[in-house]
Structure 1
Amino acid sequence: MSIQAMKSAVEVLGSQTNLAKKLGCTPQNVQRMCSTGRVPGKHVLRIEAETGISRSLLRPDLYPEVPLTMPATIDLDGSGQKASNCAGDAYSAH
């Protein structure tokens, strides 16, 4: 939960009042979010949609950052044998 993320969200919309209108809450609620960095889960996705501030910056406890890449191999059936995630490997001679 980040005070900086909320500050950025307010800057994008121009004021705490504008953000409050987008969220359907009072400016006092937004001020509290800004001063504490605590964003109620019900507001996270709306803030992200309205401002472009990532949900993982607003509530990393609810929306942890997901790695952009997958591991090179994955144990698909729990057997310990790894299957490659590369499509080209299906055509390799083994």
Structure 2
Amino acid sequence: MRRKLSPVEAIAEAVAVMGGQRATARALGVTQPTVLRWVRGHCPISAEFVLRVEEASGISRHLLRPDIYPADLGPSPAWKPVWMGVDLGQSPVSCERSSVLQFAQPFEGRNPKATEADGAASVVGGGLAA
């Protein structure tokens, strides 16, 4: 198993993958002494170059600048999801015919389209009127 690289080791590996200090400097539009300062650990790689170095070298931004791009550690152990309704498998809506509401008496005076059918009121064409 490979050990985790420090930021200085990560930039050194990225520079090697990119073809050396001079090639890295050309690719990023900086001077070779700037790249040398990154490799020796005198200063961290500038935030504006991290993503470009990651793209060119394949070295993760999380290794190059963990202070700016921390590794995803997942949710905090104190975080607990709150699941409601459908997420718990308790659907508030049912499409089964047996669970359809049926009224014992029609809504008198509220919906002239309601009719008696099989001892229950059913709504014909378009829902209840307010």
Pick one of 58, 63, 67 that aligns with 2:69.
Answer: 63
Q: What is the one-letter code of the residue matched to 1:41? A: A
1:29 and 2:34 correspond: yes
**Distance across 1 between alignment mates of 2:76 and 2:8:** 31
Distance change >3 Å, CA 69–CA 48, structure 1 → 2? same
Give the TM-score normalised by the residue count of structure 2: 0.54
Instruction: Compute the displacement of 1:73 (Å).
Output: 4.5
Unaligned runs of 5+ in 1: 75-81
1:52 and 2:58 correspond: yes
Q: What is the one-letter code of the residue matched to 1:12? A: V
Task: Note the aligned Cα RMSD (angstroms).
Answer: 2.6
- When structure 1 is superposed on structure 2, of 57-66 and 34-43 the one drifting more is 34-43
**Identical aligned pairs, as a percentage?**
35
Unaligned runs of 5+ in 2: 1-5, 92-130
Instruction: Compute the displacement of 1:68 (Å).
Output: 5.9
Instruction: Compute the displacement of 1:23 (Å).
Output: 0.7
1:5 and 2:10 correspond: yes
Instruction: Compute the displacement of 1:38 (Å).
Output: 1.0
Instruction: Compute the displacement of 1:41 (Å).
Output: 0.5
Return the structure number with greater helix share: 1
Q: What is the one-letter code of the residue matched to 1:47? A: V
| Equivalent residue number for residue 91 of structure 1 | 89
Of structures 1 and 2, the larger Rg is shown by 2
Q: What is the one-letter code of the residue matched to 1:14? A: G
Q: What is the one-letter code of the residue matched to 1:10? A: V
1:15 and 2:12 correspond: no
